[in-house]
Amino acid sequence: MTIRNVLFVLCALLLAVAPACGDDTDPEGASGTGGDGDGDGDGDGDGCEDAPGYDAVAAFDKCTMCHSSAKSGSDRNNAPADHNFDSYEGATEHLDHVLEEVEEGKMPPPASGVTLSSAEREALILWASCGGPE
C-alpha cells in the first residue's frame, strides 16, 4: 500500500468517525440532543430554553397578593415596597432575592396561608435563575 493510499484510508476513517464525536458547533452533539451534552439543544448547558416567560409564571398570581404596586401599608403584609411582581420590570428588579427566598422556602411565608405547588415553585425558580425571560 502506498503512502497516498494510507492517507486516503486515514482521511476516510476520520470523516466517518468525526460526526459521532460532536462538539459545541454541532447542533446534535455527542448526545444527539445538544452540542453541550445536557440535552437541551441550546449548547450552553443551563437549561434555560425551557424557562417560562413572565406571563407564564403562574406563581405571580399568588405573589401579587402582597407584592403588588397597587397595595400599600398592611395590605402588603410586610412585603418590601420595592418588591412588586405585577409588572415585568418590577419582577425582574430583584431576581437574586426572589430566587433565594423561594429556594429557601421563605416565600411565600408559611404564616401567610399561601402555598405554591411544586410546579409553580419550579417554574418561578427556573424563570428567576435564567434571568427572568420576558
Same domain, 75 and 42: no
Same domain, 81 and 121: yes
pLDDT higher at 85 or 10: 85
Asked if residue 5 belongs to a domain, the reply is: yes
Same domain, 31 and 73: no
Q: What is the mean pLDDT of the chain?
A: 77
Same domain, 68 and 123: yes
Same domain, 103 and 60: yes
Domain hosting residue 59, numbered range? 51-129
Is residue 20's pLDDT more than 60? Answer: no
pLDDT of 115 reads: 95
pLDDT of 47 reads: 84
* 83-101 pLDDT per residue, tens: 999 999 999 999 999 999 9
pLDDT of 45 reads: 60
Same domain, 61 and 120: yes
Helices (H), 1-134: 3-21, 59-63, 88-92, 95-103, 118-129
Same domain, 76 and 106: yes
Q: What is the pTM of this model?
A: 0.65
Is residue 4's pLDDT more than 80? Answer: no
Alpha-carbon dihedral 87, 91, 93, 97, rounded to 10 degrees: 160
Cell 435563575, residue located? 129
